[in-house]
Amino acid sequence: MTTKARVARPPIELPEGNPAERFGNPVPAEGDGGVFSQSWFPVCLSEELKPGDLHGVPFLDGKAIVYRGSDGVARVMSAYCPHLGADLSIGRVVGNEVECRFHRWRYDTAGRCAATAIGDDPPPRARLFKFPSQERYGIVWAFNGDAPLFDLPDFEHPDTELLVRSYRFDEPFECDPWIFAANTPDMQHFKVVHGIRFDDEDPHKLVDWQDWGFRYGFRADHQDGTPIQWTVGIRGTSIFWQEGLYGETWLGGLVGFAMLEPGRHRVFAALAIRDAGPEAGALHDELFAGAEHLMHRTINEDREILNTIHYRPGTLTRGDTTLGRYLEFLRGFPRAHPAGPFLR
């Protein structure tokens, strides 16, 4: 994997009294100062992790492992064995523990060394970093921190009434996750990039700001004339979700941006439809096919812009009111990297 060159950017100088001055303040890039935003990041698809499976995944500028024990629980830990540094992703799962390929030390569900193969006492400091993790929407998620600061968003319908399919886009995006997230408060981009025509004025006044993100609803016509009545939102720096009517049909979509390394992320997505019962297989397939088409088209409309942008909020206008507020939210967002020393 090549690393995108990162150049320290000098502060943007603006003439005194310029009304855009307050936006001339860049958002910290992921990895700046050795820290990353404390958000939930997708790690792998649930369907790729059968009991006994163990995979290595790039995460937070290092490497983590994700495995599923015989108890069915997916766990995310740092990848390198504290003994001599062997990569645990080439080891194996034994019950609910991970065994290192090199000298066969075993790590328990808390990440502590439970046993050494030759019977020496496990050194107390021999432990992995265990990420807070959860499995939802067909995706395994890990939180960058010792404990989660918030939870994933819920759809307006309970999970038991929904059918969900999940996806991973293999080709990484060449920007930080928050840059993709910043498209949701960017109402101008909805219009010009995605061909959405709001029924009323731009919905800045309808934005509901919460401790860990925001959401807002609007009615609009999509580029092909389909009426939409959507609620869209962002949680943290790495989760987008939307739900509501597309034409006559309720659709939900949730996208998570996996933090691979500074300046690079990978997109995971889950699509949700209402469960119309066991006889409705053909209808379900048709709804998922339509939703997938919409998802691919929308992400592809954004892709090249995101892969080439040097994000630089220098001159925002009134149309960028909500975007400006999200950028301010990002500037104050908690950042840390407690797993840092464990991941390399």
The residue among 105 and 257 lying less far from Fe ion, judged by its C-beta, is 257
| Minimum gap (Å) between residue 37 Cβ and ligand FES | 31
Report which of 126, 56, 63 is spatially closest to residue 92, judged by C-alpha positions. 56
93 binds ligand FES (CB under 6 A): no
Write the CB contacts of 210 (distance below 8 Å, at least 6 apart in sequence): none
Interface segment toward ligand FES; rule CB under 6 A; list 9-17, 97-105, 218-226, 264-272: 97-105
100 binds ligand FES (CB under 6 A): yes
The residue among 103 and 274 lying less far from ligand FES, judged by its C-beta, is 103
Interface segment toward ligand FES; rule CB under 6 A; list 1-9, 55-63, 102-110, 322-330: 102-110
CA 338 to chain centre: 18
Report which of 324, 294, 267, 327 is spatially closest to residue 196, judged by C-alpha positions. 294
Q: Which of 28, 45, 102, 221 binds ligand FES (CB under 6 A)?
A: 102
The residue among 91 and 252 lying less far from Fe ion, judged by its C-beta, is 252
What residues does 240 pair with on adjacent strands? 234, 255
| Cα–Cα distance, 204 to 186 (Å, whole number) | 10
| Cα–Cα distance, 274 to 251 (Å, whole number) | 8
The residue among 90 and 283 lying less far from ligand FES, judged by its C-beta, is 90
Give the footprint of Fe ion on this chain (CB under 5 A). Answer: 183, 302
311 binds ligand FES (CB under 6 A): no
Residue with tokens 């500074």: 262
Q: Which of 54, 81, 164, 295 binds ligand FES (CB under 6 A)?
A: 81
Q: What Cα–Cα distance (Å) separates residue 95 from each residue in 73, 90, 101, 114, 296?
A: 11, 16, 16, 13, 39
The residue among 105 and 257 lying less far from ligand FES, judged by its C-beta, is 105
Q: Which of 14, 35, 45, 86 binds ligand FES (CB under 6 A)?
A: 86
Using left for φ > 0, alpha for ψ between -120 and 50, and beta otherwise, residue 332 falls in alpha
Binding site for ligand FES (CB under 6 A): 81, 83-84, 86, 100, 102-103, 105
